[in-house]
Amino acid sequence: VESPIRVEIESQLSDLLIISLVDPEISHVLNLSVDIDGFLPVRVAIRRTDKLTIQILSKDLNLYKEIQSLDQLFGNWSDLDKHPLRLMEGAIVASGVVPLGFKDQREFSLQDILRKLGGGIEIVTEVRDIPQHSGLGVSSVLGGSLICALRKFSSQEKMTQTMHEEEVETVVAQGIFLEQLIGVGGGYQDFFGMVPGFKEIRAKKAENTLREITPGDIVPIFQSLNLKESTLHTLKAGMVLWDQG
């Protein structure tokens, strides 16, 4: 899975859950997804391995971890020093590959679960040429990309080049769940950085199974905006991305 990053056009912080929970109608965001010099900077690759463990490699952070048990997976994710790869670990749970219900039970081991999935899992992530704390929604886009890749890997979604609208809604809901799991949280517009182009983003009451994973029964929805080619050209010509250091 390869994803762009998001640039906020207008939000007034209305995509914060605490605001949307009070009144979903207040939530209204415009954002734009962009590449960097023609390439998509957020990348996630997953493959099946013969070893019944979960291996995680972050190329940009230069960190590696091998998870050999459920106790090791379900750690104290709020402690960033002990869990610098918590976003990847939490995505395994939030995506349903290893559901939260397996925490604190002793009937099944991680090896039992992986055996049912057909083997071990190797996850490789990379964020190219984007500094940390850039304000471009990178961690949320990476979290959403992880969930998208894990859902496809575990056959919850078909292997397609693009996500359909219902899949986007599910990935975003699980992305919000992921951030709640690991003890972080911000605006939910960042997850829509995965969706190309300009978008109008709002919140609505969650329906069906999404209620189980979305705080307060709120789920964001989006509508892509089709702008004229001349408008897009003007916007691109006037856009500069720089690192403030």
Q: For the segment 95-104, what is each residue's pLDDT rounded down to a tens digit? A: 999 999 999 8
In contact, 36 and 42? CB cutoff 8 Å: no
The fraction of the chain above a pLDDT of 90, given in percent, is 40
Task: Tell me which H or E stretch contains 146.
Answer: helix 138-153
Task: Tell me the C-alpha distance between 113 and 54, whole Å.
Answer: 11
Q: Which range in 112-121, 176-185, 204-213 is most confidently predicted, on average pLDDT?
A: 112-121
Average pLDDT of span 153-163: 78
String of b and e for 62-91 (b: at least 16 CB within 10 Å)?
A: eeebebbebeebbeebeeeeebebbbbbbb
Instruction: Kindly tell me if the per-residue pLDDT of 71 is higher than 50.
Output: yes
Average pLDDT of span 43-56: 97
Instruction: Kindly tell me if the per-residue pLDDT of 58 is higher than 90.
Output: yes
Residue-averaged pLDDT of the chain: 84
Number of Cβ within 10 Å of residue 93's Cβ equals: 23
Q: CA dihedral defined by 36, 38, 41, 44, rounded to 10 degrees?
A: 170
Amino acid at 168: V
| Bridge partners for 43 per DSSP | 2, 126
Burial class of residue 105, CB neighbours in 10 A (0-12, 13-18, 19+) = exposed
- Three-state SS for 71? helix
- In terms of residues, how long is the chain? 245
Instruction: Kindly tell me if the per-residue pLDDT of 141 is higher than 90.
Output: yes
